[in-house]
Structure formats: structure tokens, C-alpha cells
Structure 1
């Protein structure tokens, strides 16, 4: 368990595949994490794991995936660090986002405003 950026304790969430089911529905741990953000709770979700990629691949893959998704879909990105260079690009493209540090990854929840 860890306190998230809102000071609430949630967990455990890891970047392992068991936190997102095959049909892109979040597990209870991922759903709990998303519920702590302002992202819509009932939206479809996609998972993107870019932890093993070096810069600038995580940024590129995230922006490409977002361009492919419907406007109502939430992207749950797992990274090994906070995607600082991604944040201004998301704002410019009309997305809201929140990142939460876990033991295994930085999880960034991205959704269309």
C-alpha cells in the first residue's frame, strides 16, 4: 500500500498484466486507482505498458495510441518514470491526466476532456 498523489492509500497496483483483463476492463486494483482520479469511472479502457522502452518511444507510442482510440476511452499507461515531456503534449491535444507512483511503475491515467 502507498499513498497516492491525493494522500489516500490504495493498492497494491503493479504493472503486471493481471491488473487489466483481456477485454481491456480494469481489475479491482486498477479500477480503485482510476476511481481516485477525475477520470470517468464507466469509460472503456486501454492499457499501454511502455516501461521497458527508452525515450522517446514511450511518448511516441502513447500519442499514437491516443490518436487511435475513441474520445471516450481512457488510456492507462504504465511507465518506469513520470512522463514529464508527455504532459504538455496531452494538454495541447485536449486531454486530462493524472499520474500515480506505485511500487512497480508510474501509472498515468489519460482521458479526453
Structure 2
């Protein structure tokens, strides 16, 4: 599942991401695209038991893969 949060103002990207995680099944990966590094999201993911991988993109955005 890919969620493109680019162009949205905070806190919309984090709210959309957390809502999408509610539907994430075991062994699935949620990939989000953000304009900025989601520093506050990382804390939430850790509390909820998710892991993440963040890759800066050439255009300055960030690709974040979220999984259990």
C-alpha cells in the first residue's frame, strides 16, 4: 500500500498515516511519501510496535516503509 502525503500540511500526513496503519495486515508494508522527515511519527510508530525504514529521495521528499 502506498500513501502519498506530499503537499499536505501537518498534522495531516501523520493523521492519514496512522489511519492507514489501522488497516495494515500482518506482513504488509505501508509505504508513505512525505515532503519532510516525519519526526513525530517515528515516536508513534515505536509506541505502536512498528518498525520503519526511511530513504531520502532526490527531490527532497522522504520515502518511509512501515511494517510490524
Fold-level match, TM-score > 0.5? yes
Number of corresponding residues: 67
Structure 2: runs of 5+ lacking an equivalent: none
Residue of structure 1 equivalent to 2:32: 77
Q: Does 1:57 align with 2:12?
A: yes
> What TM-score, normalized by structure 1, do the two folds share?
0.57
- Whether 1:111 and 2:64 are equivalent positions in the alignment is no
Aligned Cα root-mean-square deviation (Å): 0.7
Other structure's SS at 2:39 match: coil
**Bigger-Rg structure (1/2):** 1
Structure 1, residues 36-78: CA drift from partner, whole Å, max 9, x if none?
xxxxxxxxxx100001110000000000001112122101110
Q: Which has the higher contact order (CA 8 A, sep 6+)?
A: 2
Dislocated runs of 4+, deviation >2 Å: none
State whether structure 2 residue 54 is matched by structure 1 residue 91.
no
Q: Unaligned stretches of 5+ in structure 1?
A: 1-45
